[in-house]
Amino acid sequence: MTLLDPLLPALARPWFDAIALPLVTRTYMPLSRAWTAAAGAAGDVDQFARETGLTPTALGLARAVNNVKRLNDRYRDAVAAWDEAFLAPESPSAKDLAKAERSRGRTAARFMSGRRLFLPWFRQLPPVAWDIPSPAEVAESHGPRLAALETAYAALPLTPIAKTHALENERVRTYWIRFRSPVLGDTVTARVIEPTDAIDPPTVIMLHGIAVEMEMWPQYPDPLDTLLDEGIRIVRPEGPWHGRRMIKGCYGGEPIMARAPEGMLTCLQAWSAEVTTMMNWARDQGSARVAVAGVSLGALTSQMIATVCGTWERPLRPDAAFLVTTTGRTLDVVFAGSLARGIGLPERLENAGWDRATLEQWLPLLQPSSPPVMGPENVVMVLGDADDLTPYAGGLELARQWSVPADNLFIRHQGHFSAALGLTPDPAPITRLGTLLRR
């Protein structure tokens, strides 16, 4: 138990969302914009100023930019040392592995916390560096997929997976798997936590929300950890453009928003293919049952996988799905969702030539139109009736379209953020998922 745990029942209420959303859109995202520009500038204040529009001679700005460079350099050094330890031909001592992971975690958190250095200027910064492609450009990049829907999410060739050395105690074993993304071509890293005494455990592949980067912040107890006591393995990948996969000049998840809708189209395509590789790996480890799970963006990706995997080979199809704060109306997220409106996405899309009718043409690649392949009895859904980020009505409609059984549908008086927080004080949905996986 952490110091935060007793507060979670109070935090898991709609009032928390009313505070959290403006903090994210008006403070955290503008600070992230400055922070990633500073990281890319590598101490060059003039370059940073050109990218952000801030005055390079502003009092304290040069110090902030150089401090981010220092934090970034230390983080990169720690990552290099981590790679050297965890990927060494011979396993280092448990002490050396733990030291490398502590150093990587501490320097990552300090680097991420460098956002605070730009608090004096956050009101002058946009939340996103917009780069929305035109409908014609998106048609060029994703049009062939739209024209051949039967293969738009076809299982791509599987890529080899490398496994790191492991940290282990009497309860769990923790290690990482790494492989090349079949779509983006970069390196995917996923943390794996499994019970030390489990033989051929079921597996949950848990996909995070946008801008959620657990590998970059201190590791806190996760509500899914209760599944470890039930003999279930947990895999937590870093999604496209997040964490160690951030691209220069963008903070975690920013390309999904900045290049909408192309960013979302590419993210869904890439993450679905990556989950296929992890699904195959889990089967090779002996998992007879595998679930794909997610929160928010991760849930949207998981529900897409649940509907398009019917043509995949049987070992690549998930046996269950766990969806937290999701929706069956993707365009509601774009035009009515509180986060999209908070960052000005509808106006930006309109300026780039996108209206609702134009976006509707791409819905076959953006939202499920078929029932889940694993059957509704193997789908667990958690919805907040005060969720206005992925609006609740769309999630409820999806649950009814899919005929999700009452025992698997958890509706709570919570918003988008508080619904996820609420899984710790009331883990009934996770318990239900565990029951499905242990069948």
Q: What is the pLDDT of residues 195-235, one digit of tens each?
A: 999 899 999 999 999 999 999 998 777 899 999 999 999 99
Average pLDDT over residues 120-143: 98
For residue 4, is pLDDT > 70? Answer: no
For residue 175, is pLDDT > 80? Answer: yes
Average pLDDT over residues 353-381: 96
Residue 1: what pLDDT? 57
- Write the pLDDT tens digit of every residue in 9-51: 888 999 999 999 999 999 999 999 999 999 999 999 999 999 9
Average pLDDT over residues 356-373: 95
- CB-CB contact of 72 with 61 (8 Å): no
Q: Residue 403: CB partners within 8 Å, gap ≥ 6?
A: 371, 376
- Write the pLDDT tens digit of every residue in 254-272: 999 999 999 999 999 999 9
Give the span between the Cα atoms of 366 and 439, in whole angstroms. 32
Residue 219: what pLDDT? 79
Residue 338: what pLDDT? 98
Average pLDDT over residues 359-382: 96
| Distances from the Cα of 88 to the Cα of 187, 351, 357, angstroms | 18, 51, 53
Average pLDDT over residues 394-421: 97
Q: Where are the domains of the chain?
A: 5-124, 135-437
- pLDDT-derived band at 3 (thresholds 50, 70, 90) equals low
- Write the pLDDT tens digit of every residue in 278-329: 999 999 999 999 999 999 999 999 999 999 999 999 999 999 999 999 999 9
In the chain, DSSP finds a helix count (H) and a strand count (E) of: 19, 10
What's the CATH superfamily of 135-437?
Alpha/Beta hydrolase fold, catalytic domain (3.40.50.1820)
Give the span between the Cα atoms of 421 and 403, in whole angstroms. 26
Give the amino acid at 255: P
Residue 105: what pLDDT? 97
Residue 2: what pLDDT? 61
Give the span between the Cα atoms of 419 and 325, in whole angstroms. 7
pTM of the shown model: 0.97
Q: Residue 104: CB partners within 8 Å, gap ≥ 6?
A: 75, 78, 79, 81, 82
The SS3 call for residue 193 is strand
- CB-CB contact of 388 with 416 (8 Å): yes
- Write the pLDDT tens digit of every residue in 55-70: 999 999 999 999 999 9
375 conformational bin, left if phi > 0, alpha if psi -120 to 50, beta if neither = left
